[in-house]
């Protein structure tokens, strides 16, 4: 990764961490889940409006570090208009990017690639994946709160 690209990625993360997109309640949500990352103290509540298997709206609330907030913000942007299985595939690609599984080429992650640098900080990977674990729970409508532990 070039230094310029790294700076650009950093800028996007800071921007989304400070001004998260899709932050707030979603009164007509069809799916929801709570996520908690005890390692860092990140908490979020994710709500989805799924119509005919397609995620029409995704919004979140909660408090967390810049990485968890930016990741949730970028995730909600990436989810809109996607089917549930497509969303899960995106999670698989995102997870592979962060854990560096060599057999997987995380293509077409789009803007989510700005979080690639997190893989150099193993303690922050759970901050970046919290929103996605919560998404998984929401799509499966698991009623128990999720934790990254
Ligand atoms: Zn965190």
* Residue 144 within a domain: no
What's the number of domains the chain is made of? 1
Q: Kindly state whether residue 31 falls inside one of the protein's structural domains.
A: yes
pTM of the prediction?
0.90
**Would residue 147 count as lying in a domain?**
no
Domain membership of residue 148 (yes or no) is no
Cα 41 to ligand 1 centre (Å): 6
Closest CA to 79 of 63, 93, 91: 91
Task: Tell me the pLDDT band of 106, cut-offs 50, 70 and 90.
Answer: low
Chain segment 23-70, per-residue pLDDT in tens: 999 999 999 999 999 999 999 999 999 999 999 999 999 999 999 999
Q: Residue 22 falls within a domain, yes or no?
A: yes
DSSP letters of 57-86? EEEEEEE--HHHHHHHHHHHHHHTT-BHHH
Residue 99: pLDDT above 70? Answer: yes
Q: What is the CATH number of the domain that holds 61?
A: 3.90.1010.10
Q: 18 is in which domain, residue-wise?
A: 3-139
**DSSP H helices in 19-124:** 66-79, 84-99
Query: What is the distance in A from the centroid of ligand 1 to the CA of 37?
Result: 7
Tell me, yes or no, whether 149 lies in a domain: no
**DSSP state, 19?**
S
94 within some domain: yes
| Across 3-12, 81-90, 124-133, least confident range | 3-12
């Amino acid at each position: 990764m070039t230094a310029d690209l790294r700076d650009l990625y950093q800028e996007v993360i800071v921007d989304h961490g400070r001004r998260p997109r899709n932050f707030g309640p979603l009164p007509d949500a069809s799916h929801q889940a709570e996520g908690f990352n005890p390692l860092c103290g990140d908490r979020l509540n994710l709500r989805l409006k799924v119509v005919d298997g397609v995620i029409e709206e995704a919004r979140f609330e909660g408090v967390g570090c810049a990485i968890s907030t930016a990741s949730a913000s970028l995730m909600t942007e990436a989810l809109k208009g996607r089917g549930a299985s497509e969303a899960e595939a995106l999670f698989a690609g995102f997870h592979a990017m962060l854990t560096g599984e060599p057999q997987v080429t995380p293509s077409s992650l789009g803007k989510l690639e700005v979080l690639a640098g997190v893989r150099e900080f193993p303690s922050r990977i759970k901050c970046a994946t919290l929103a996605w674990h919560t998404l998984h729970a929401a799509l499966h409508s698991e009623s128990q709160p999720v934790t990254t532990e």
